[in-house]
Amino acid sequence: MSTKDFSYDNTNIPSGEDAVVAIVVAEWNAEITNALLNGAVSTLKKNKVAEEDILIYRVPGTFELTHAAKQILKYNFADAVIVLGVVIQGETRHFDFICQGVTQGITQLNIEYDEPVIFGVLTTNNMEQARDRAGGRLGNKGSEAAIAALKMIDFNLDISEDE
């Protein structure tokens, strides 16, 4: 199966004009998370999200992304929240616990709140795989998360217009 089989429509991206997007980025593995952040910000700007409407928050690690996203949602000032982090497999089960906790936490936030939380967390076996997904040969998953955010903001607008 080719990587194209796993792609989505990135040609029909809604405008982000008037949207406020919060991005929470983990400091741990900054080489990767900063590349993801750059991809997300670039894509949001390219799709008409004003620079002042891209709110960037940093947290120590991937596990803290859920808490930060919840605080942003609780104060209701963003149309979407993108969380960006990376967890790289090591020799202990720490990888499993962090990945499971963050995945469940973000899922729970998507159930509890109306604004979407976009999962931009890489879970890789090694640093090379992370680099490949943070602007390397497999693209930039931060950019893909930004596209998902714009599509979900548009989805929410469509749903609210149907009421």
67 has catalytic annotation: no
Of 2-6, 18-22, 140-144, 153-157, the poorest mean pLDDT is in 2-6
Label the pairing between strands 80-88 and 139-140.
Answer: unpaired
pLDDT at 1: 32
pTM across the whole model? 0.92
pLDDT single digits (tens) 1-57: 334 444 566 678 999 999 999 999 999 999 999 999 999 999 999 999 999 999 999
Which entry of 46, 67, 74, 94 is annotated as an active-site residue?
94
Residues contacting 88, CB < 8 A, separation 6+: 29, 95, 124, 125, 126, 127, 130
Write down all domains in the chain, each with its CATH number in brackets. Answer: 26-33+54-83+95-163 (3.40.50.960)
pLDDT single digits (tens) 60-119: 999 999 999 999 999 988 999 999 999 998 777 777 888 899 999 999 999 999 999 999
The two tokens of residue 58 are: 């940093």
pLDDT at 4: 42
pLDDT at 3: 41
| Residue of 11, 2, 40 lying closest to 24 (CA atoms) | 40
3-state DSSP assignment of residue 157: helix
- State which amino acid sits at residue 145: A
